[in-house]
Amino acid sequence: MATTLAPPKPPPPAGSIGGITKEEQLVIFASSLGTVFEWYDFYLYGSLAAIIGKQFFSALNETSAFIFALLAFAAGFAVRPFGAIVFGRLGDMIGRKYTFLVTILIMGLSTFIVGLLPSYATIGVAAPIILIGLRLLQGLALGGEYGGAATYVAEHAPPGKRGFFTSFIQTTATIGLFLSLLVILGCRNLLGPAFDTWGWRIPFVLSALLLAISVYIRLKLSESPVFKRMKEEGKASKAPLTESFLRWGNLKVVLLILFGGTAGQGVVWYTGMFYELFFLQQTLKVDPSTANILVAIALVLATPFFIVFGALSDKIGRKRIIMAGCVIAALTYFPVFKALTRAANPDIAAAEAAHPVTVVADPKDCSVQFDPIGKTQFTTSCDLVKSFLAKRAIPYTNEEAPAGTIASAKIGGGATISSFPGRQLAPAEFKTQNAAFQKQMTDAVNAAGYPTKADPNKINRPMVIFLLWLLAIYVTLVYAPIAAWLVELFPARIRYTSMSLPYHIGNGWFGGFLPTIAFAMVAATGDIYYGLWYPIVIAVMTAVIGTLFLPETKDREIHHA
């Protein structure tokens, strides 16, 4: 049973703002700023996934290299729950402040080393192995960061304003992503083509400067007043892992908030912050600089709404805002992304409408267009057709053909391009026939109007920005109140541990793997929108479980051990 701690400190003196003294305002600002830098480090990799795929997974085909680069990105998310366990335990036992220092050091050093890491062309397979190892270290560090930052700020905030104050922590991920995009854009514009060969390393190396600033700031932090009182009164937990996960009363809340809160919040976040950027670049073939600028503008316009919805959650509750975000996102993702296609690359939309592509093939002859180890040979007639379409990001549907049929592609009501039985040919003959087949396919899809890249003169920039802003608004709905909700669900003595694990499973696993899963689903089906089913299903699950089984907590007292 939870025990009540001694009453909080007396009311702050005159001159304080919102019940927070100037000293505590500085503490909260410093905590948030350090978290911005940490998210900057983490998102550099995501923003540069396409380039990193070419640098470190160059042995794979183009589609597999990008998906595997996303998988390496997701590897950092895979270990976030383990970081939550390790650092959550430390945060509940020795304090919030010292845990911050450890996480920022691990994150900053790992990112700096990525900027110096030789590519696959230089050191071979060791390059992707070391890269994934560094991503794992980043994930461990971030697993310990968020729970501490959210707990730290919430425990400084006055009653009735926890949603408002923790919403500033929620902006840090967006600001960190925005900062990474700005640095990337600056380097790309300054260096031109050299950015793709070596200039991409500069944003990673610059993290050393951000690391120094962050450590300096964190050394100035004071410990959380709630944790101080807990230690002084001897009420801190001696076994936070046991109390959090081996006692059903608390474990039940952990599981409910995972499936009824953070899972849906995670997929909505990553759809609106990362998947739409990858969708613009990889599927719609928008120039990376243009895509980054459009996303950055949308983020600037949407970021204030973290504060708006955080403050609103203090008045109407956390739960209803988060559930509304999940439901609205699930209902509108398909129309929003289809509108994004028409606005960003109308030629794809027009070609698909006028000349839809159908692959006619024996299903047994077809493989999923994803080769994670670079050894699969896509040489069946079906694979040759689908490999071409996947590389060009051309949407298609599938039509089953009788067993043994040579695969073909029907381009609208016009050309039908037949493949050839690649596996039955000698290497020289395969090369000759494949060259002829590739030319036929290229001529046919070009004639049908399928573009190799988005025409910058045809991009409806105001509409693209609006749609990206709308996706980011969904993010603010589900993300702004989540920190306060998590903090209020658990007692102080095990708060860091208990809230960190469901948060990082929901975000790190359900959310972090979203780009990889979604693009693999697209590669398997040929439908460029098919990957959206993943976030939609998870968001609906969260809305149902959260609405039925989780409580509203906005008026709860959090000074309970």
What residue spans define the domains of the chain? 22-345+456-549, 354-447
- Which of 267, 180, 286, 258 lies closest to 516, judged by CA? 267
Q: Is the four-CA dihedral 333, 337, 340, 344 of positive or negative sign?
A: positive
Amino acid found at 385: V
Provide φ and ψ at 357, rounded to 5°. -100, 135
Q: What is the pLDDT of residue 9?
A: 47
Distance CA 537, CA 23 (A): 45
- In b/e form, how buried is each residue of 375-392, taking b as 16+ CB within 10 angstroms? ebebbbbbbbbbbbbbeb
**Can you say whether residue 408 is alpha, beta or left, with left for phi > 0 and alpha for psi between -120 and 50 degrees?**
beta
Is 365 buried (19+), middle (13-18) or exposed (0-12) by CB count in 10 A? buried
Paired sense of beta strands 408-411 and 357-361, if any = antiparallel
Look up residue 88 and give its two tokens.
């959550």
CA distance 60 to 281: 19
Q: Looking at domain 22-345+456-549, which of 3.40.640.10, 3.90.1010.10, 2.60.120.620, 1.20.1250.20 is its CATH number?
A: 1.20.1250.20
Rounded Cα–Cα distance for residues 532 and 340 (Å): 13
Q: What per-residue confidence (pLDDT) applies to 32?
A: 75
Q: How far is CA 514 from CA 331, 391, 466, in A?
A: 18, 21, 23
Structural contact between residues 510 and 266, judged by C-beta atoms closer than 8 angstroms: yes
Query: Is it true that 22-345+456-549 and 354-447 share their CATH fold?
Result: no
Q: What is the pLDDT of residue 510?
A: 93
Distances (CA, A) of 340 to 71, 140, 333, 346, 558: 25, 35, 10, 9, 43
Which residues contact residue 394 at a Cβ distance below 8 angstroms, ignoring those fewer than 6 apart? Answer: 348, 357, 445, 450
Q: Would you say 274 and 48 are in contact if contact means Cβ atoms under 8 Å apart?
A: no
pTM of the model as a whole: 0.84
Q: Which whole-number Å values give the CA distances from 339 to 181, 275, 348, 395, 526, in the listed order?
A: 24, 15, 12, 15, 19
Question: Directed axis angle between helix 49-56 and helix 126-154, to 10°?
Answer: 150
Rounded Cα distance, 33 and 27, in Å:
10
Side by side, the strands of the sheet bearing 408-411 are: 396-400, 357-361, 408-411, 416-418
Confidence at residue 23, expressed as pLDDT on a 0 to 100 scale: 65
Q: Is 558 helix (H, G, I), strand (E, B) or coil?
A: coil
Gap between the Cα atoms of 368 and 120, Å rounded = 25
DSSP letter at 159 equals T
* 8 Å CB contact between 360 and 401: yes
* DSSP string for 104-154: HHHHHHHHHHHHH---HHHHTTHHHHHHHHHHHHHHHHHHHHHHHHHHHHH
Provide φ and ψ at 225, rounded to 5°.
Answer: -65, -35
In sequence order, the β-bridge partners of residue 418 are: 408
CA atoms of 437 and 172, how far apart (whole Å):
50
Q: What was the pLDDT predicted at 111?
A: 86
What fold does the segment set 354-447 form as a domain? Answer: Glutaredoxin (3.40.30)
- Roughly how many angstroms between the first and final C-alpha of the chain, as a whole number? 9
* Bridging pattern class, strands 416-418 and 396-400: unpaired
Provide φ and ψ at 558, rounded to 5°: -105, 0
Dihedral over alpha carbons 213, 219, 225, 229 (to 10 degrees): 150
pLDDT of residue 63: 65
> What are the average pLDDT values for consecutive 10-residue runs of the chain, which has 561 residues?
47 48 68 73 76 80 70 77 86 74 85 90 88 87 79 81 88 81 89 92 90 81 69 73 89 96 96 91 90 89 94 96 98 97 95 94 80 60 88 90 92 86 82 92 93 94 98 96 94 87 89 84 88 97 98 86 61
Dist CA 381 CA 450 (whole Å)? 22
Is the CB of residue 112 less than 8 Å from the CB of residue 204?
yes
Furthest C-alpha separation in the chain? 86
Neighbours of 432 (CB within 10 A): 12
Task: Indicate if the alpha-carbon torsion angle 487, 42, 337, 417 is positive or negative.
Answer: negative
Backbone torsions φ then ψ of 404, nearest 5 degrees = 85, -5
What contacts 153, CB < 8 A, 6 or more positions away?
Answer: 28, 31, 32, 165, 166, 168, 169, 483
Is 34 in contact with 42 (CB distance < 8 Å)? no
Q: What distance in Å separates the CA atoms of residue 443 and residue 284, rounded to the nearest whole number?
A: 20
**pLDDT at position 373:** 43
546-550: list long-range contacts, CB under 8 Å, 24+ apart.
546/256, 546/260, 546/261, 546/264, 546/319, 546/322, 546/323, 546/326, 547/260, 547/319, 547/323, 548/260, 549/256, 549/260, 550/256, 550/257, 550/260, 550/261, 550/319
pLDDT at 411: 93
Q: What is the pLDDT of residue 11?
A: 46
Distance between CA 223 and CA 469 in Å, rounded?
37
